Amino acid sequence: MSKQILKAYEFRLYPNIDQQIFFAKSFGCTRFIWNRMLNDKMEHYKIHKESLKNTPAQYKKEFEWLKEVDSLALANVQLQLQQAFQHFFKRPNVGFPKFKHKGKKDTYTTNNQKGTVAIIGGSIKLPKIGHIKAKIHRKINGLIKSATVSRTPTGKYYVSILVETIAKPFPKTNSNIGIDLGLTDFIVLSDGTKVANPKFLSKLAIKLGKAQKIMSKRSAVAKKANRKLSDSKNYQKQKLKVAQIHEKINNTRKNFLHKTSFNIVKNHDVIAIEDLNVSGMLKNHKLANAIADSSWSTFTTMLTYKADWYGKQIIKIDRWYPSSKTCSGCGHILGKGELKLSDRSWSCPSCHVENDRDINASVNILNEGLRCLKLKEPLVQGS
């Protein structure tokens, strides 16, 4: 069955000077209204022990310059603040809404009202500002709902266009797959395929490590001379370099994860993965490994929503299931200390088969996933 979905398309923007000023004002106003509304809510609660229902419009009299930006951008701040509070009340461990700082995440969101947001030729039309030159590298299908403009720490502008569209399910392939988070590879599949971490990613990780070292040295030099970091040109230059490498890593990583997850969803019907709690994983001291770890959660998120869009099934298996220590051939489970982290393969003491560590694990993950699926099925049919 086709499915109605929300899909985001990102485009690079090339605003002229006036447009850059408008964006800077918009980022500033949305940050201001967020902080102001949050602060007033907190103060009100302290005194009256009840929540304050404030709106951006209330602040426009006192702060006239708020009228210079898109009013929808301010209205969206109110919504985002509400959502932040809802998240906090539902799951207090996500944390109380925080104040926003300049330059950290410059962004604002506006909505499409009867064509106020549109892609026209090589430009994107936005409310109150008009046409902005953009690199339209792909066609979008569907109804535009909203647009989020952002500026990266290196000064690049992007717009993310959220579109309501229809996803058609992929044809069934009659192939099921188990995925293991590899130790040296990014992932290992139960059909024996090993998907390596892209080589340029580890090169960039080394480059990032070096650049960060220089940055902290320059910060130390400035502090010794009693200079503010904002006044140290050397430090600022290096900070920009670090941000540039970060951006490069994020972009390459995102492309790689999109491609990899898309191919898996396209080629398999049932996809079994481990339900790893990444925040609870051992802290990795090697930068490249840390990047790989954070990739895993993004990857499973992508797999999950793509499977949902395209009519495929994801099964997450218990993270305590001993996928590495179990022989996929005979079911023998190794005892404590019998499998070291450095063992790339192991010989089964029971059936004497030589198991490749990661492939064996992914086969177990698939089998366990299919077993869980069978347990679930009667319930689905009975309901």
Instruction: Decide: helix, strand or coil at residue 107.
Output: strand
Measured between alpha carbons, how far is 239 from 269 in angstroms, rounded to an integer?
45
The single residue among 63, 210, 351, 354 that binds Zn ion, judged by CB under 5 A, is: 351
Measured between alpha carbons, how far is 4 from 301 in angstroms, rounded to an integer?
19
Catalytic residue among 68, 274, 308, 318: 274
Q: Which is nearer to Zn ion, 122 or 192 (CB)?
A: 192
User: How does DSSP classify residue 115?
Assistant: S
Q: Which is nearer to Zn ion, 300 or 326 (CB)?
A: 326
Neighbours of 342 (CB within 10 A): 7
x/- binding map, residues 278-317, to Zn ion, per CB under 5 A? ----------------------------------------
Among the listed residues 228, 272, 248, the one whose alpha carbon sits nearest the alpha carbon of residue 367: 272
Q: Which is nearer to Zn ion, 10 or 354 (CB)?
A: 354
CB of residue 332 to Zn ion, shortest distance in Å: 5
Taking the CA atoms of residue 325, residue 330, residue 331 and residue 337 in that order, the dihedral angle to the nearest 10 degrees is -30
Residue 125: in which H helix or E strand, if any? strand 123-126
Catalytic residue among 43, 50, 70, 180: 180
Decide if residue 339 touches Zn ion (CB under 5 A).
no
Q: Which is nearer to Zn ion, 251 or 350 (CB)?
A: 350
Decide if residue 24 touches Zn ion (CB under 5 A).
no
Decide if residue 330 touches Zn ion (CB under 5 A).
yes
Decide if residue 166 touches Zn ion (CB under 5 A).
no
Among the listed residues 186, 198, 176, the one whose alpha carbon sits nearest the alpha carbon of residue 363: 176
Measured between alpha carbons, how far is 30 from 24 in angstroms, rounded to an integer?
10
| 358 is an active site residue | yes
User: Which residue has tokens 């006192």?
Assistant: 62
Instruction: Decide: helix, strand or coil at residue 22.
Output: helix
Decide if residue 271 touches Zn ion (CB under 5 A).
no
User: Which one of 77-85, 88-96, 233-241, 326-334 is the stretch in contact with Zn ion (CB under 5 A)?
Assistant: 326-334
Residue 252: in which H helix or E strand, if any? helix 233-267
User: Which one of 191-199, 290-298, 314-322, 328-336 is the stretch in contact with Zn ion (CB under 5 A)?
Assistant: 328-336
Decide if residue 350 touches Zn ion (CB under 5 A).
yes
Q: Which is nearer to Zn ion, 7 or 332 (CB)?
A: 332
The single residue among 100, 125, 194, 332 that binds Zn ion, judged by CB under 5 A, is: 332
| 180 is an active site residue | yes
Q: Are 34 and 77 in contact (CB under 8 A)?
A: yes
Q: Which residues are catalytic?
A: 180, 274, 358
Interface residues with Zn ion (CB under 5 A) are 327, 329-330, 332, 348, 350-351
